[in-house]
Amino acid sequence: MRKIRTYKEVQHSTGSEILEQVVDQLGQLAARLSTVGTVVAVASGKGGVGKSAITANLAAALAMRGHRVGAVDADLNGPSLGRMLGVSGMSLGDSPDGVEPPQGVQGVRVMSMELLQDAEDTPLGWRAPDFGKFTWRSTLETGVLREFLADVAWGELDFLLVDVPPGTDKIERLLELLPDLDQALLVTTPSESARFVVSKSLRLVQEAGVGVVGLVANMTEHECSQCGHRSSLFESGGAERLAAESGVPLWASIPFDPRLGASTDLGEPLVTKEPDAASSRAILALADRVAAAAQAGANTQ
């Protein structure tokens, strides 16, 4: 039963009533996620490093290993996870327990803003008053994300992955909603500029006390399809440096593989199509690390 009141309903509102609502909402969120084993945020801070492609392939890889998996596209303005997991054009169901998410590749349950938009090229419009636009937008975005997590009938899941959009502020907002986040995977490329941004994100999740943090280096090297020669895409080795400086383990190094991009972007994560490709093997090994860390966490509880 939703208890969220509109501002009109909250007449003569006092600060404490608003606070009561917020506490209520966070309570609903915790209750919903009590049937989810492990929540994993796939984040970076940096844009375009492969967060969504990795989330899609990781979700499929965990499902291939027999786990029950859900995935939330927290990118409200540029959703891409739904397409990558093959639920574009599918409808959301309605049940007394909440919104029913469609099942995509390998039975992964997916919630994305894309499923709420009429046409795929409709940009998301936020109606906000002229003053304080930033604050309004942040509040609306946080509200939508909370509903994606709390009002969706996720059911029993072993893993719920959250594809976090670029910007360190988005990581902060997710942590406000999920203060007990189980795992954070921070995606970086070996470039120096990625290292700089991701080091800030790393600090954020560490200071928030996230139990398990792993680094994922993406687009590390490229193998020539003609001659098989392997070369680094970036020279700086930023991911290894970041791991060494922070003491956070590097959980995966995923090579650049044009097939991964082409296949995943069309709704077929490469792990399902070519599990023996080097990039797929790296992602399957990442899935095993995520599952092992979840198991270790469950054993200590």
Ligand X SMILES: Nc1ncnc2c1ncn2[C@@H]1O[C@H](COP(=O)(O)OP(=O)(O)OP(=O)(O)O)[C@@H](O)[C@H]1O
Handedness of CA 102, 45, 262, 159 (dihedral sign): negative
The verdict on 73 binding ligand X (CB under 6 A) reads: no
Question: Which span sits near ligand X by CB under 6 A: 86-94, 128-136, 209-217, 250-258?
Answer: 250-258
Question: Which span sits near ligand X by CB under 6 A: 105-113, 136-144, 201-209, 252-260?
Answer: 252-260
Interface pick for ligand X out of 33, 36, 39, 49 (rule CB under 6 A): 49
Intra-chain end-to-end CA distance of the chain, in Å = 30
Closer by beta carbon to ligand X, 75 or else 147: 75
Alpha carbons 61 and 192: distance in angstroms, whole number: 29
Alpha carbons 48 and 181: distance in angstroms, whole number: 23
Structural contact between residues 272 and 232, judged by C-beta atoms closer than 8 angstroms: no
The verdict on 168 binding ligand X (CB under 6 A) reads: no
Select the binding partner of residue 264 from Mg ion, ligand X, none (C-beta < 5 to 8 A, by kind).
Answer: ligand X
- In the bound complex, what is the minimum distance in angstroms from residue 57's beta carbon to Mg ion? 13
Interface pick for ligand X out of 165, 190, 214, 269 (rule CB under 6 A): 165
Cα 260 to the center of its chain, rounded Å: 18
**Ordered alpha helix ranges (H), the chain:** 15-32, 51-64, 81-84, 133-150, 168-177, 192-207, 238-246, 258-265, 270-273, 278-299
Interface pick for ligand X out of 114, 147, 182, 257 (rule CB under 6 A): 257
Kindly list the residues in this chain that would bind ligand X in the complex (CB under 6 A). Answer: 47-53, 75, 78, 80, 165-166, 218-219, 254, 256-258, 260-261, 264-265, 279
Kindly list the residues in this chain that would bind Mg ion in the complex (CB under 5 A). Answer: 51-52
